[in-house]
Amino acid sequence: MQTKLRMGMIGGGIGAFIGAVHRLAALMDGQIELVCGAFSSNAQKSKQSGEELFLLPNRIYATYEEMIEKEKALPENVRMNFVSIVTPNHVHFHPAKMAMENGFDVVLDKPMTLNLNEAKELKSVVEKTGRTFCLTHTYTGYPMIKEAKQLIAKGVLGKIRKIYIEYPQGWLSTFLEGENNKQATWRTDPKRSGIAGCMGDIGTHAFNLVEYVSGLQVVKICANLNTYVEGRLLDDDGDVLLKFNNGASGVLSATQIAAGEENNIKLKIYGEKGGLEWQQCDNNTLQLKWLDKPKEILRAGTGYVSNIVAHNTRVPAGHPEGYLEAFANLYKNFALTIRAKANNEIVKNEWLDFPGIEDGIRGMAFIENVVASSKSNEKWIEFRI
Amino acid sequence: MQTKLRMGMIGGGIGAFIGAVHRLAALMDGQIELVCGAFSSNAQKSKQSGEELFLLPNRIYATYEEMIEKEKALPENVRMNFVSIVTPNHVHFHPAKMAMENGFDVVLDKPMTLNLNEAKELKSVVEKTGRTFCLTHTYTGYPMIKEAKQLIAKGVLGKIRKIYIEYPQGWLSTFLEGENNKQATWRTDPKRSGIAGCMGDIGTHAFNLVEYVSGLQVVKICANLNTYVEGRLLDDDGDVLLKFNNGASGVLSATQIAAGEENNIKLKIYGEKGGLEWQQCDNNTLQLKWLDKPKEILRAGTGYVSNIVAHNTRVPAGHPEGYLEAFANLYKNFALTIRAKANNEIVKNEWLDFPGIEDGIRGMAFIENVVASSKSNEKWIEFRI
Amino acid sequence: MQTKLRMGMIGGGIGAFIGAVHRLAALMDGQIELVCGAFSSNAQKSKQSGEELFLLPNRIYATYEEMIEKEKALPENVRMNFVSIVTPNHVHFHPAKMAMENGFDVVLDKPMTLNLNEAKELKSVVEKTGRTFCLTHTYTGYPMIKEAKQLIAKGVLGKIRKIYIEYPQGWLSTFLEGENNKQATWRTDPKRSGIAGCMGDIGTHAFNLVEYVSGLQVVKICANLNTYVEGRLLDDDGDVLLKFNNGASGVLSATQIAAGEENNIKLKIYGEKGGLEWQQCDNNTLQLKWLDKPKEILRAGTGYVSNIVAHNTRVPAGHPEGYLEAFANLYKNFALTIRAKANNEIVKNEWLDFPGIEDGIRGMAFIENVVASSKSNEKWIEFRI
Amino acid sequence: MQTKLRMGMIGGGIGAFIGAVHRLAALMDGQIELVCGAFSSNAQKSKQSGEELFLLPNRIYATYEEMIEKEKALPENVRMNFVSIVTPNHVHFHPAKMAMENGFDVVLDKPMTLNLNEAKELKSVVEKTGRTFCLTHTYTGYPMIKEAKQLIAKGVLGKIRKIYIEYPQGWLSTFLEGENNKQATWRTDPKRSGIAGCMGDIGTHAFNLVEYVSGLQVVKICANLNTYVEGRLLDDDGDVLLKFNNGASGVLSATQIAAGEENNIKLKIYGEKGGLEWQQCDNNTLQLKWLDKPKEILRAGTGYVSNIVAHNTRVPAGHPEGYLEAFANLYKNFALTIRAKANNEIVKNEWLDFPGIEDGIRGMAFIENVVASSKSNEKWIEFRI
């Protein structure tokens, strides 16, 4: 008899933003249950969080080390199958490494690690342990993003020439980190966030989305990072000129000081024959633009989109899905993958379509390269890993 | 120690549309688990469905009668707390009645019953048993719909004069019921669907939304129902002129033959001072229009909307929620209500904000009145219950 | 040697709204010049208006009767070729009749006359004199409306089943006619406006647009007119159920008390194979919706739309044209027609594509029928002329 | 007695794009008449064009030199008041210089000259002759662009931090200049267009709009220009990072190879307190976004916008104006200015609000600076004039 997959969570206690999102995404499809957690570096807070999530008292742990060890000791049909790590960036590498080395698959929030070195080391852990690893670049979970990727791969736009991506937020327009705002505080703290602020937090999402959809790789960059809010320790805004491995060029703009903007990441890609446009605030739609015929509006949940869309959609067209469902697609495909592996069944390509260790490596390299470029007087720097 | 609430499901086996939606909505927030079900009138199909949902074999039942009886016999901390009924309309009344009479709370899909008489009888069951009853008019679950209701109640638009609601679908533009389409077949079959097709399936949603948001009641109607697809047994289109109890007038249009339309229910309400507009395809937005100042765009997840929005929103502004989250809000508030009742705690008003037996009564009356009006040569008929 | 066509204007003095619009529309394309006018029933105001418009003093007249007589006496190559009548409704019939009987072609603002009887009489004048007559139902001048008409005529949507038209305004939400607002005062005065307010002013536009685009005729109506603003003498709001001569049904809603609305007339038509949507605020776009393929967005000024669009467009796609250009299309086609007639050249069908006397007859019949229907207890009344 | 202002045109013969636009814009408001022209370097074509425009035979000239000389010899109340120059870039400087030196005011299409040196020389001509000079950067003519400028000047957004402008076109995605396309041919020919293609044609519009609305000046740039279409002699795409004199940063992207794009120039500006957004395809709308209150949608033609909007708007809100009306605003304000000067009346500031010689200087400097930057390995170059 099959059972739900059992998830343990590291981080994501009461009041956390992304932890709650991970739980919603994991639970929604009925394939996964939360069985244990180490929700906070504060043991009391972890306990309280676990109770609110209806966990058994003995499955609520004070530390992730304790969780991994004790869960490992449980019978196979009881212990967690994988961990979901939703802590700030500086607590990504160690729990992920420990979990994999102790036989657990891992879902990890982005950016993957605190720096590129940790990322490379984590890659070797993945390779050595053979565990399944998912990095939650949410935007790749949207069905119409997957359609876009597929259409480009099929060549319907012709050779790609131009890519624009913008990720505008406004919530850091003021010195929130001085007002005890939890989300702002760790994201603007180099010790917990790494060497980049805006570029690490949302720039990496934009970078990942560009490479995921286009199938291209960035080879040169020219970056200008800014810090607009006085007293802030990391960049809160930046623009990056991009050159791709096929000769295409592009612009990546990410900002957290665009006052009045929410979170509308938007992607436009143009090839020789046509272009496409997608934006999060209208995520069930993909616009296809053509040189000499009317623009087409493709919609999730319809009969005319590809199977990959159908696989990542839950309801018919016109019943809007959103951010949580995109996130849930990562978990669903991760769950299908680890279940198939456990059952020695074939893992379908469409299940494997979630970001992994290579995305993490490139994402961390993006951070280090844009920071270097921004400081450099040289116009173009190579994208190095 | 608190546990998740335990749900049993009636209907919703493999391949069903709305059953899967109910499960997604119920599970998402981590307050409810599915513990048992009678998923089909076909016992074998019920078993298979239950297995796919990871249920214990002894909690998968051949009939809803069996489920209610056997669950009732289980220990209190094991047996289901409530049933979710997601069958076609002709199998709404009996299981709902039986469940309540055996001590179970009920979530029931709309329209409430096969006819108004059943609805009235069900009301007396609710009153007699005192059970908590939720009718899933999904659209009332949208946070910006709740904001709209609250703004009107506070009088910001002034006295309401005009209401337009449209619910356009195109999927029944052809004779799908002749092509073995499961959804089309029962919805166009008077024995399973009742005396109305389009008006029962989506017209009731539109009617409910109008009264929910405006706080007004329809008192007179003038309806024109049509059947455009040859061979179809029920209406697939209709327009209804409305008069409200405060003197306002309105139009309700619902159609399933608007070729190319998906499911974009749209509401516009105008008062003496301003108007509002909401549509499902942009559900996180509420437009407020004013006589002499700029239109305002209110968004879910922001700091400036009311508490009721925050209570029914999961992620910050710019992370779009959608249909499943609106549906989940019904389950979440239902769950908070029955948990509080079970614990003898106060039930907050914001938790009680889900459609109930009175909505069901008025919805069934709507069906009977529009069918009568459409057949009548009289222009206006009273809205009778 | 060809010269510009010479226009005389009746009404439209300083401060008038629609007179200024007519002049902008007439002058824009360089085919017409304004040579004379009787701009006001007040001779002094007429004189002042003419001077501001750079007219020669001897071509500014105190009354339209004077203008018609004196212009007639001028040499053929000097006198006006046609008159443009932009007075309130009660001063439509007489000047139009007099102008045609004295050999002048006529452009007349809508609604055509004060009542249906005048309309019929005007028709006989047109027939007797053989003059060219244009009624300025502006919305038929939009290029994408012409594309819509042509697509339906070609059958691309299949047999038409459903038509919705809405014309929402909010500017009469308060008792403006009590505040000396010129536009409000005459439009709400039965002596100058006729038996309908909102339905005459904008309902006729909506009605005309529906029949123009669909190529169908309304055969039965069921109307509900309302007056929401206290003290107002005519309707300021109304909804009309429609039945068409091919079996299609529809709804026409026009209102002037939708607080916060500007002027966004919007048309949706659905056939067996697909639907279309157009709205004034995005007038260069026509949406085509399909049962089983992506929605298409057709745009004015592109290479893929029909010749009729190109003929009525001035600039390439992406250079938005608007209301004044739509209006100018009526004048341009009228000018091309009368010039061709004068030169004994063939008048192309695309030039004749402006509203004329038959549109005026049906528009006036619409007014009388909706007022009658609104007062009637009978549900459906025949559309009578 | 006042008369219309008399315009002569240089260039803009049959089949020309921008010449026709200038005429529509000039004639629309009834303040200007076209009295003469030298429409083509081909005398026969000039004659034919003049005849189609209903000019007197003796006012149609073979060359602009002839026109300027002969018009100068006509009586003051007959001869043209100003010239409108609508030729390709290499025929801008000489006719403009000659016209001004012979006492005529000038309207000149952009970019101002073939290179920066000519621009500087033209500036000295303007200064020496004291003629009124208008450079047709159309986008500054949009009423909501003027509102945006005014709101920023008043400080409603606080100190400006970030500016994004994009100007995407797709029409040069293929080698149109090899297909005898007139517009493509001269625009991609360095002899007629200058050293930049896309950046000269539309990049200058974007640059001008940014400085006009923000009131800021670009001080440093980092540019990447590309030529994607094989065989093309000039850039057809480019991105420019910007630094402004107040510390703000920005991105300017202009492209003519974004397949499927029309002409939707779009501007977003963010300050400490809020942001604004405007785009040409919805030109009657200005979005204002705020840190902590709902987004506001400001609309042209309403009562709540500033006087500058009203002065540049012809019809009430909801009657869309567009590109031609924006263009006409330049002509209208130019006409009001030269008439007032001629009459020795005060020239109102709102009339002077059209682009002039300084805009031209900065625009030509923009072209030279971006081309230099694109070739440089240095990251930032100073914006030099």
B116-165, pLDDT tens digit by residue?
999 999 999 999 999 999 999 999 999 999 999 999 999 999 999 999 99
Q: How far is B78 from chain C (nearest CA, A)?
A: 47
CA distances (Å), origin D239, targets A240, A257, B331:
10, 21, 50
Strands D249-255 and D160-168: parallel
Residue B271, number of CB atoms within 10 A of its CB: 25
What is the SS3 assignment for C26? Answer: helix
Structure tokens given for A258: 């665009």
What was the pLDDT predicted at B95?
A: 98
Helix (H, G, I), strand (E, B) or coil at C52: helix
Cα atoms found within 13 Å of the Cα of residue A177, Cβ hemisphere only: 16
Looking at residues A165-189, what average pLDDT do you find? Answer: 95
CB contact under 8 A, D228 and A170: no
Closest partner residue to D318 among C17, C33, C263, by Cβ?
Answer: C263
DSSP class of B60: B
Task: Report pLDDT for B290.
Answer: 98
A24, A30, A169: residue with CB nearest B314: A24
**In angstroms, rounded to a whole number, what is the distance separating the alpha carbons of residues D163 and D168?**
16
The closest of B276, B313, B311 to B297, measured between CA atoms, is B276
B269 and B157 in contact (C-beta within 8 Å)? yes
Question: Which residues contact residue C257 at a Cβ distance below 8 angstroms, ignoring those fewer than 6 apart?
Answer: B161, B162, B270, C170, C172, C173, C228, C229, C236, C237
Q: What is the ipTM of this complex?
A: 0.96
Tens-digit pLDDT profile for residues C240-255: 999 999 999 999 999 9
For chain D, give the mean pLDDT: 97
Cα separation values, A24 from A92, A165, A328, B385, Å: 21, 28, 8, 41
Task: Please tell us whether the domain made up of B5-139+330-355 is placed in CATH 3.40.50.720.
Answer: yes
**CB B304 to CB D294 under 8 A?**
yes
CA dihedral D357, D363, D369, D374 (to 10 degrees): -170
Q: Residue D17 above 90 pLDDT?
A: no
In whole angstroms, give the CA distance from residue A162 to residue D237.
9
Q: For residue C300, what is the nearest residue in chain A, using CA coordinates?
A: A294
Pairing verdict, β C266-271 and C160-168: antiparallel
Distances (CA, A) of C240 to B225, C167, C214, C243, C252: 15, 12, 17, 10, 5
Comparing C157-171, C213-227, D7-21, D215-229, which segment has the lowest mean pLDDT? D7-21
Phi and psi, residue B13, nearest 5°: -70, -175
CA-nearest of D35, D81, D80, D3 to C51 is D3
A130 contacts chain B (CB < 8 A) = no
The answer to whether D136 faces chain C, any CB pair under 8 Å, is no
CATH of domain A5-139+331-351: 3.40.50.720
Closest to A59 measured CA to CA, from A11, A67, A45: A67
Measuring CA to CA, how many Å separate A45 from each of A34, A185, A367?
17, 19, 32
C170: confidence class by pLDDT, cuts 50, 70, 90: very high
Q: List the domain boundaries for chain B.
A: 5-139+330-355, 141-316+362-375
Q: Quick check: A242 and A218 in contact, CB under 8 A?
A: yes
Which range, of A81-90, A341-350, B99-108, D10-19, averages the lowest pLDDT? Answer: D10-19
Neighbouring C-beta atoms of residue A231, cutoff 10 Å = 9
Domain D5-139+331-354 falls in which CATH fold? Rossmann fold (3.40.50)
What DSSP designation does D92 have?
T
- CA D99/CA D117 separation, integer angstroms: 19
Q: Do C320 and D23 touch (CB under 8 A)?
A: no
Supply the pLDDT for residue C14: 85
Q: Give B127→chain C minimum CA distance, Å.
A: 39
Q: Which residues in chain D touch residue A251, judged by CB atoms under 8 angstroms apart?
A: 239, 251, 253
Indicate the angle between helix axes A357-375 and A204-214, nearest 10 degrees.
Answer: 120
Query: Can you tell me the distance from the alpha carbon of D238 to that of D196, in angstroms, rounded to the nearest whole number?
Result: 10
Residue B1, pLDDT above cutoff 80: no
B303/C contact by beta carbon, under 8 A: no
The full length of chain D comes to: 385
Which sign, positive or negative, has the C-alpha torsion D371, D374, D375, D380? positive
* pLDDT (average), residues D341-358: 96
Residue C29 C-alpha, separation from nearest chain D C-alpha, in angstroms = 6
A96-152 confidence digits (pLDDT tens): 999 999 999 999 999 999 999 999 999 999 999 999 999 999 999 999 999 999 999
Chains in touch with A (3+ beta-carbon pairs under 8 Å) read B, C, D
Do the Cβ atoms of B1 and A57 come closer than 8 Å? yes
Task: Reduce the secondary structure of chain A to three states and give it as a string.
Answer: CCCCEEEEEECCCCCCCHHHHHHHHHHCCCCEEEEEEECCCCHHHHHHHHHHCCCCHHHECCCHHHHHHHHHCCCCCCCCCEEEECCCHHHCHHHHHHHHHCCCEEEECCCCCCCHHHHHHHHHHHHHHCCCEEECCHHHHCHHHHHHHHHHHCCCCCCEEEEEEEEECCCCCCCHHHHCCHHHHHHCCHHHHCCCCHHHHHHHHHHHHHHHHHCCCEEEEEEEEECCCCCCCCCCEEEEEEEECCCCEEEEEEECCCCCCCCCCEEEEEECCEEEEEEHHHCCEEEEEECCCCEEEEECCCCCCCHHHHHCCCCCCCCCCCHHHHHHHHHHHHHHHHHHHHCCCCCCCCCCCCCCHHHHHHHHHHHHHHHHHHHCCECCEECCC
Q: Is B84 on the interface with A (CB under 8 A)?
A: no
* Cα distance between residue A107 and residue A84, in whole Å: 5
Q: Does C236 touch chain B (CB under 8 A)?
A: no
User: Which chain B residue has its CA at the smallest distance from A319's CA?
Assistant: B323
Sheet containing C5-10: which strands, arranged edge to edge?
C32-38, C5-10, C82-85, C105-108, C133-135
Q: Do B173 and C255 touch (CB under 8 A)?
A: no
Work out the minimum CA distance from A326 to partner chain D, whole angstroms. 26
Q: CA separation (Å) from C193 to C10, C200, C364, D49?
A: 17, 8, 12, 45
Q: Read off the pLDDT of residues B62-100 as tens digits, 9 standing for 90 and up.
A: 999 999 999 999 999 999 999 999 999 999 999 999 999
State in words which class domain A142-317+362-375 has.
alpha beta
Asked if the C-beta of D373 comes within 8 angstroms of chain C's C-beta atoms, the answer is no
* pLDDT greater than 80 at residue C1: no
* Predicted confidence (pLDDT) at residue A17 exceeds the cutoff of 90: no
Give the model confidence (pLDDT) of A309-324 as tens digits. Answer: 999 999 999 999 999 9
Compute the distance between CA of residue A355 and CA of residue A359 in angstroms, rounded to an integer: 6
Q: What is the pLDDT of residue C167?
A: 98
Instruction: Please name the CATH architecture into which domain B141-316+362-375 falls.
Output: 2-Layer Sandwich (3.30)
Mean pLDDT of all residues in C194-222: 98
Coil, helix or strand at residue C367: helix
Residue of chain C whose Cα is closest to the Cα of B377: C379
Inform me whether the C-beta atom of residue B325 falls under 8 Å from chain A C-beta atoms. Answer: yes
Query: Is B289's CB within 8 Å of C241's CB?
Result: no
Q: Which of D292, D298, D299 sits opposite B303 (nearest CB)?
A: D292
The architecture that CATH gives domain D141-315+362-375 is: 2-Layer Sandwich (3.30)
**pLDDT beyond 90 at A82:** yes
Q: Tell me the per-residue pLDDT of C95-148, one tens digit each, with 9 for 90 and over.
A: 999 999 999 999 999 999 999 999 999 999 999 999 999 999 999 999 999 999
3-state secondary structure of C325: helix
Summarised one tens digit per residue, pLDDT across range D64-99 is 999 999 999 999 999 999 999 999 999 999 999 999
Percent over 90 (pLDDT), chain A? 98
| Interface A:C, Cβ pairs < 8 A | 30
Chain C interface, best mutation among B151, B159, B249, by max C CB count within 10 A: B249
Number of H helices, E strands in chain B: 13, 14
Query: Can you tell me the mean pLDDT for C7-24?
Result: 94
H helix or E strand, kind and range, residue D32: strand D32-38
Query: Distances from the Cα of B302 to the Cαs of A283, B5, B307, B342, D15, in angstroms?
Result: 19, 30, 10, 33, 53
Q: Out of D34, D53, D323, name the one closest to residue C320 (CB).
A: D323
Does residue A154 belong to the interface with chain C, where contact is any CB pair within 8 Å? no
Residue pair D15/D5 in contact (Cβ under 8 Å)? The answer is: no
Query: Residue C321 is nearest to which of D2, D318, D322, comparing CB atoms?
Result: D322
User: What separation in angstroms does the CA of D106 have from each of D1, D80, D91, D95, D338?
Assistant: 24, 11, 14, 9, 10
Selected for mutation to probe chain B from C165, C224, C243, C256 (highest B CB count within 10 Å) is: C224
Nearest alpha-carbon partner for B109 in B3, B29, B186: B186
Instruction: Please write the tens of the pLDDT for every residue from A19-45.
Output: 999 999 999 999 999 999 999 999 999
Question: Closest Cα to residue B248, out of B287, B278, B214?
Answer: B214
At C316-359, the pLDDT tens digits run 999 999 999 999 999 999 999 999 999 999 999 999 999 999 99
Quote the pLDDT of residue C298. 98
Question: Strand, helix or coil at D280?
Answer: helix
D373: CB partners within 8 A, 6+ apart:
D221, D222, D223, D240, D381
Q: Which residues, other chains included, contact A154 with Cβ-Cβ below 8 Å and sequence gap of 6+?
A: none
Residue in C324, C368, C315 with CA at minimum distance from that of residue C116 = C368
Q: What share of chain D is helix, strand, coil (3-state, %, to 5)?
A: 40, 20, 40
Q: Quick one: which of D182, D20, D259 has its CA closest to C319?
A: D20
Q: By the CB < 8 Å criterion, does C148 face chain A?
A: no
**Distance from C-alpha of C168 to C-alpha of C264, rounded to nearest angstrom:** 6
Place of tokens 């796609």: C317
Q: Mutate one of C151, C163, C164 to test the B interface: name it (highest B CB count within 10 A).
A: C164
D261 and A255 within 8 Å at the Cβ level: the answer is no
The answer to whether the CB atoms of D258 and A271 lie below 8 A apart is no
Contact C292 A298 (CB under 8 A): no
Q: Which chains touch D (3 or more CB pairs under 8 A)?
A: A, B, C
Report pLDDT for C204.
98
Q: Are the Cβ atoms of C224 and B228 closer than 8 angstroms?
A: no
* Overall pTM > 0.95: yes
Question: pLDDT category, C237, cuts 50, 70, 90?
Answer: very high
- Asked whether D366 and D384 are in contact (CB, 8 A), the reply is no
The pLDDT assigned to D365 comes to: 98
Q: Which of D151, D221, D253 to mutate to test the interface with A (most CBs of A within 10 A)?
A: D253
Q: Check CB contact of B220 with chain C, cutoff 8 Å.
A: no
